[in-house]
Amino acid sequence: MTSLVLTVRETLRYRGAIGQWSWVLHRLTGVGVALFLALHVIDTSWAVFYPALYVKAIAAYQSPLFTIGEFGLVFAVVYHAFNGIRIAIFDYKPELWRHQAQAAVAVLVLTLLVLAPVFLGMASHVVDFYFTEAAIAGEKMFDVVVFSILEQLPFIAGFVAVLAAAIVLAAVYSLIRGEGGQRGKYPEASGIERFWWSFMRLSGILIVPLVFGHLALMHVVQGVFDITAAQEVAGTMSSNGTIGAAPSAVEFVYHRWSYAAGGVFIWRVYDLFLLVLVTLHGFNGLRYVLTDYTSFNDFARRTSVALCTVMAAVLLAVGAAALFVPLEKDIIDEAMAATAEIYELRGEELPAELEAYLSEDV
């Protein structure tokens, strides 16, 4: 902790140039996106494994607090992407270093240029939601959020379990390896850091088009509010038919992942690439950040490494499982019941179609 406190305090005091502030922003946005990624992969996998929980998670995402968070997330991704390209350029072409400060300014300008239309698009979804689609009283919305978060306590329990696993792994590893191994003549040199350095830059560049496509589709063309309102799923050409008149969040996911073009589930393939690249990039980045501030203590450093490894492994396993599992129609039935609960919490009347669907089911 002392290392982190000292670095934060002195970074604020040291009058570094724009490169220093780019680094600060790169770190903050990177950690923010990585933490969101953990939430996002696990929540989305619930669409397949615990449909009712997914419906409630989406209801929480539709609350004002998360809306603000969504704007922050999109800023973070866009800035991190452009600044990452800047870093990769100067890492591979160090002789261009004199242009790095201009490039840092260009990154900021480019970020703002891209964000202006994107934020307008996102804001239009927010406006639609509050003024035309749903008229939810403020205190009701609060109930929905509290309820949704309580329902998702298993997520926090899972996180605690991962943390515990990391501490145990680090302890076991420390018993085997003993202390030390920090300084002296390259005890840990194995080319592994060289691999990760190249991987971060290559994966970063591959991720940019993938994640921009994902953001465009899920935050601009159709936002989180459309998940429970849209009659069609963008990017599926409606070939699987339109969503029912009382759409649930799960149905949206179901249609996207069921869409096959030429016999290939293209969105599952797309999401799989995104999952693998982003998880490895994100959690190796988190490892960089954590080990920077824990290297004064072997055990703390190993716990950080184990934490990132376990989290990445869990996300890859859960995410891949959700992508590979054959989708059954009955997840939609489960989701419908949960959707009805959300309607009740919001104090809205159940749409006739949903009521009909539920009574039919019973």
Partner 1 sequence: MDVTFRIRRQNPDVPGQERPYWQEFSLADVDPTDRVLEMLHRIKWEQDGSLSLRRSCAHGVCGSDAMRINGVNRLACKILVRDVGEKIQVEPILGLPVVKDLIVDMEPFFDHYKQVMPFFVNNDPLPEDGRERLQTQEDREKFDDTTKCILCACCTTSCPSFWANGHYVGPAAIVGAHRFIFDTRDQAGQERLDILSEPNGVWRCRTIFNCTPACPRDIEVTKAIGEVKLAIRKGTNVGIIQTSAIH
Answer for the pair 250, 230: CB distance below 8 angstroms, yes or no: no
| 3-state SS record for 235-287 | CCCCCCCCCCCCCCHHHHHHHHHHCCECCECHHHHHHHHHHHHHHHHHHHHHH
- 117 in contact with partner 1 (CB under 8 A): no
- The angle formed by the CA atoms of residues 51, 70 and 120, to the nearest 5 degrees, is 120
- 11 in contact with partner 1 (CB under 8 A): yes
**Of residues 253, 255, 248, the one with CA closest to residue 341:** 248
**Minimum gap (Å) between residue 78 Cβ and partner 1:** 20
- 179 in contact with partner 1 (CB under 8 A): no
Part of the chain binding partner 1 (CB under 8 A), chosen from 35-43, 58-66, 146-154, 285-293: 285-293
Among 133, 143, 232, 292, binds partner 1 (CB under 8 A): 292
**Minimum gap (Å) between residue 10 Cβ and partner 1:** 5
Residue number, 248 or 284, with CB nearest to partner 1? 284
17 three-class SS: coil
Among 295, 325, 352, 361, binds partner 1 (CB under 8 A): 295
CA 140 to chain centre: 27
- Counting every residue, how long is the chain? 362
**Minimum gap (Å) between residue 16 Cβ and partner 1:** 5
**CA distance linking residue 244 with residue 229, whole number of Å:** 10
Q: Which long-range contacts (CB under 8 A, 24 or more apart) does 207-214 make?
A: 207/81, 207/274, 207/277, 207/278, 207/281, 208/81, 208/84, 208/85, 210/270, 210/273, 210/274, 210/277, 210/278, 211/77, 211/81, 211/274, 211/278, 212/81, 213/270, 214/270, 214/274
Residue 346 tokens, joined: 């919001």
Among 35, 65, 68, 101, binds partner 1 (CB under 8 A): 101
Answer for the pair 125, 225: CB distance below 8 angstroms, yes or no: yes
Among 162, 293, 302, 308, binds partner 1 (CB under 8 A): 293
Q: What is the DSSP letter of 348?
A: P
**Minimum gap (Å) between residue 293 Cβ and partner 1:** 5
* Site string (23-62) toward partner 1, x via CB under 8 A: x---------------------------------------
- 6 in contact with partner 1 (CB under 8 A): yes
- 105 in contact with partner 1 (CB under 8 A): no
Residue number, 1 or 150, with CB nearest to partner 1? 1
Among 65, 188, 239, 264, binds partner 1 (CB under 8 A): 188
Query: What is the sign of the dihedral through the CA atoms of 292, 297, 298 and 300?
Result: negative
Residue number, 289 or 316, with CB nearest to partner 1? 289
Part of the chain binding partner 1 (CB under 8 A), chosen from 87-95, 160-168, 309-317, 333-341: 87-95
Among 131, 185, 263, 326, binds partner 1 (CB under 8 A): 185
101 three-class SS: helix
- 94 in contact with partner 1 (CB under 8 A): yes
Binding site for partner 1 (CB under 8 A): 3-4, 6-7, 10-11, 13-17, 19-20, 22-23, 87, 90-92, 94-95, 97, 100-101, 182-183, 185-189, 191, 193-194, 196-198, 288, 291-293, 295-296
